[in-house]
Amino acid sequence: MNNNKTAIATYFGGVIGLVTIFLLVWKFVISEQAEPQVIDLMLGVCGTLVSIAVFFVSALFILSARKKKETFESVLSEELAVWHRRNSPLISVENEYVGKSDKDGARYSMLVDHDHILRRAEKLKNVARVTFFDLPNSFKKDDQLVFYLSKKMFLWRAKALGEKDLQHVIDKLGRDIANAISCEFTDIVKAHGFPRQGKNKVTVSFVRDMKTPNDAREIIKLINYVVVLYLAAA
């Protein structure tokens, strides 16, 4: 529909432009007897109509861009890319890694020493990183988003608390982070913090299918929220 309106407006503007050119030629070359006021008036009207046509076409293009259909997949991909760009070099991404299955998406890592974010990105290639979270390929009910709790990252927390048992600190932190996620995003997920398969994890399970553009934005908000929790805890 917008394409038809754009074509009509374009043809209309073209016709008015040709009429304007004809009137200019008439005024300055052909006619010496016609009233100049009449021709000037007609030129003014034609100029206004051309401006209206240009405005109409521009407005249609703007409206068409705004009405670009969003999907869960398109919004998640775009928002995730923006989020990663804003959080670089703190966060890095691996699309391929050891142990990846068909159900797994990209893996995101985080700097162990967060002070390194004050340095330039090109100097961080050999700086220690640990796995932050694995993004699933599917976001249906009961699918999981898994966040990892690295002992390397939270070693300083244990020292600051005067706690010699680092695993005890990790266990409590996992429960606290899981509880915070569940409370903040209760409409979309339920989180559990406990060691699984020999690794310290916070497992976030979706309580319903995630399928709308707004659902995709909520997932990015959740990930960013966990980044804040990790930075606060470390």
pLDDT in tens, 93-107: 887 666 666 667 889
DSSP three-state, residue 158: helix
CA-based radius of gyration for the chain: 30
Find, among 78, 36, 44, 67, the residue nearest to 220 by Cα. Answer: 78
Q: CA torsion 44→49→52→58, rounded to 10°?
A: -120
DSSP three-state, residue 162: coil
The pLDDT of residue 159: 75
The pLDDT of residue 204: 95
The DSSP output letter for 109 is: E
Which residue shows structure tokens 């030629």? 25
Across the chain, mean pLDDT equals: 77
**How many other CB atoms are there within 10 angstroms of residue 230's CB atom?**
21
Structural tokens at position 99:
């142990």
* φ/ψ of residue 195, rounded to 5: -70, 135
Residues 6 or more apart in contact with residue 217 via CB below 8 angstroms? 75, 79
Angle, CA of 101, 130 and 102, to the nearest 5°: 5
CA atoms within 13 A on the CB side of 146: 21
The pLDDT of residue 143: 94
Residue ranges, the chain, pLDDT below 70: 1-68, 96-103, 115-125, 195-199
The pLDDT of residue 5: 52
Single-letter amino acid code for the residue at 188: I
Distance, CA of 43 to CA of 35 (rounded, Å): 13
Residue range 168-218, pLDDT digits in tens: 888 888 899 999 999 999 999 999 887 554 568 899 999 999 999 999 999
Residues 6 or more apart in contact with residue 143 via CB below 8 angstroms? 136, 205, 206
The pLDDT of residue 152: 83
The pLDDT of residue 30: 47
Which residue shows structure tokens 């002070």? 115
Dihedral sign (CA 194, 196, 202, 206)? negative
Displacement of CA 7 from its chain's centroid (Å):
33
DSSP three-state, residue 177: helix
Is the separation of the CB atoms in 220 and 79 below 8 Å? yes
The DSSP output letter for 29 is: I
Which residue shows structure tokens 């038809």? 4
